[in-house]
Amino acid sequence: AQTVTQSQPEMSVQEAETVTLSCTYDTSESDYYLFWYKQPPSRQMILVIRQEAYKQQNATENRFSVNFQKAAKSFSLKISDSQLGDAAMYFCAYNWIQGAQKLVFGQGTRLTINP
Amino acid sequence: NAGVMQNPRHLVRRRGQEARLRCSPMKGHSHVYWYRQLPEEGLKFMVYLQKENIIDESGMPKERFSAEFPKEGPSILRIQQVVRGDSAAYFCASSPETGETQYFGPGTRLLVL
C-alpha cells in the first residue's frame, strides 16, 4: 500500500526567509503524481504545486518549488521569501496514475511565519 | 468558473440522526471524490464516483455510510444514525478526468452532539 510521511509536525520561519518542508512516500509504481496542498485557517484545501513522476524537471510555481528525488522517494517543498499568508497546514499527497484514483495524504506540517 | 461547491458548510446533528452532505463539482468535471479529515489529521479517502457509478468505495465504513452521484444534481454523502465519532470535516473534490488534479471544495464540518 502506498504511504506518505511528513516527518515535521511543525515548522517556523522568519518572514522573507526560505523554508523547506519534507515529504517521503512509499510506492512500487513508476507512474504517479505528487502534490502539495495548503490548508489555511479557513480549512479550504488549496493546490500549491504538482509534480509528474515521469518528469525529471522539478516543478515551480512562483515562490514555491519542489525537490523531487524519485530514487529516494522524496518530495520536499521549498517556499522562498516567506509571507505571512503562507501560514497554514501543508499536506503532501500521492496519486497513482494507472490505478486507484484516491489521493493518499501525509499527516501534515503546520507552518508558522514569524513577522 | 465556479469552484467545487459544498453545502452545508456546517452541520450539527444529534446522535441517531441522519446527515446529508452535498457536493457540486466544478463545471466540466465528471469525477467526484469524498475525503474525511478528523481533527489534527490528514485527509483520508472515502469514495470515488462518476456519474451514476461508484468506482471505488474502499475507504467507506461498511455500515451507515453511502454515497451517490446521480445523472442530474449534486453528489450526496449520506451518514445514517450518526455517532460522535462521525464528527469531522468532509471534503469533496472533483477532476475532469481520471488521474487529473483534484480540486477541493470548502468542506462540510459535521458536529454530532
Contact B99 A46 (CB under 8 A): no
Contact B101 A50 (CB under 8 A): yes
Give the chain A residue whose CA is nearest to the CA of B5.
Answer: A44
Q: Is B1's pLDDT higher than 70? A: no
pLDDT single digits (tens) B57-111:
999 998 999 999 998 999 999 999 999 999 999 999 999 876 678 899 999 999 9
B85 φ, ψ to 5°? -70, -10
